[in-house]
Amino acid sequence: MKPMNVVDCSAWVEYFVDGSNAGRFAPVIEDSGALIVPAIALYEVFKWGLRERGEQAALRLAGVMHQGRMVDLGPDLALAAARIAGEFDLAMADSVILATARAYDAILWTQDADFAQVPGVRYVPKARAGKVPVTKP
């Protein structure tokens, strides 16, 4: 059985702007059959798109995200996210995204340093000029 994947907001934005790590996230994002999309990630990325690119671009971003399996925040996921927030000192959106990944036994893909030491996460550090990004095991 193929592993499921969740992509956090930082990785979605990196993909959409074709940043230096976009190629690391593209295979995961483009495999929509194995992609879980937390509704809160849709909110965060759409909000970013509205602010940075405008309404039409934000709607295109949302359309790409809708190709994966959308997951709403229900009571069980909310409680799991609250526990995770306390365990790893994460913000609400980050804890909901991680809780969603865990609920679906999925790998969480990110370039957000808040996840660098969290088990079950594929952390890809943001690339810096002249440096090659490395994925932590």
Phi, psi for residue 114 in degrees, rounded to 5 = -60, -20
In 3D space, the residue among 38, 58, 53, 47 whose CA is nearest the CA of residue 106 turns out to be 38
Listed by start position, the domains of the chain span 4-123
pTM here is 0.89
- In tens digits, what is the pLDDT along the chain, a chain of 137 residues? 789 999 999 999 999 999 999 999 999 999 999 999 999 999 999 999 999 999 999 999 999 999 999 999 999 999 999 999 999 999 999 999 999 999 999 999 999 999 998 998 999 998 765 444 444 33
Residue type, 33: G
**Cβ distance 19 to 12 under 8 Å?**
no
CATH number of 4-123: 3.40.50.1010
